[in-house]
Amino acid sequence: MENCIFCKIVAGEIPSPRLYEDDKMIVIRDIEPKAKLHYLCIPKTHFALLTEMDEARAEIVKHCFQTIPTLQETLGLQDGYRVIINQGENGGQTVPHLHIHLLGGEKLGDF
């Protein structure tokens, strides 16, 4: 997808160190961390919203959620973390390429 910042990161057009990568997803650090540790799990396929999920996209999202727990220790999230997917304007989504926030490294406040 043209002009999508996360597609550009996935394609390597914008450099961003990858803490994990496989054929379906990457994990990078958020550029403006909202917690001591703040990662983004970004599917390599472009779509913005959970409402746009078809079977193939659902498989990718499932893969992300199956992989994230295997990375807990590597990412320093073994003591717990928060998983967030912002959706649309009211959800505070600023990048219209579905991504999963992982926040941790400290005791997070209520929200």
Q: Does 48 bind ligand 5GP (CB under 6 A)?
A: no
Q: Does 45 bind ligand 5GP (CB under 6 A)?
A: no
Q: Does 57 bind Zn ion (CB under 5 A)?
A: no
Among 26, 81, 97, 102, binds Zn ion (CB under 5 A): 97
Say which entry of ligand 5GP, Zn ion, none residue 1 contacts (CB below 5 to 8 A, set by partner kind).
Zn ion
Asked if residues 98 and 43 have their Cβ atoms less than 8 Å apart, the reply is: yes
Please name the helix (run of DSSP H) or strand (run of DSSP E) that holds residue 83, with its range, or none.
strand 81-84
* Rounded Cα distance, 79 and 26, in Å: 22
Query: What is the edge-to-edge ordering of all strands in the sheet holding 25-29?
Result: 20-21, 25-29, 37-43, 100-104, 81-84
Q: Does 6 bind Zn ion (CB under 5 A)?
A: yes
* Rounded Cα distance, 5 and 100, in Å: 15
Please report how close the Cβ of residue 13 comes to ligand 5GP at its closest, in angstroms: 11
Q: Look up 99 and say whether it is catalytic.
A: yes
Residues designated as active site: 99
Chain contacts with ligand 5GP (rule: CB under 6 A): 5, 14, 16, 28-32, 40, 86, 92-95
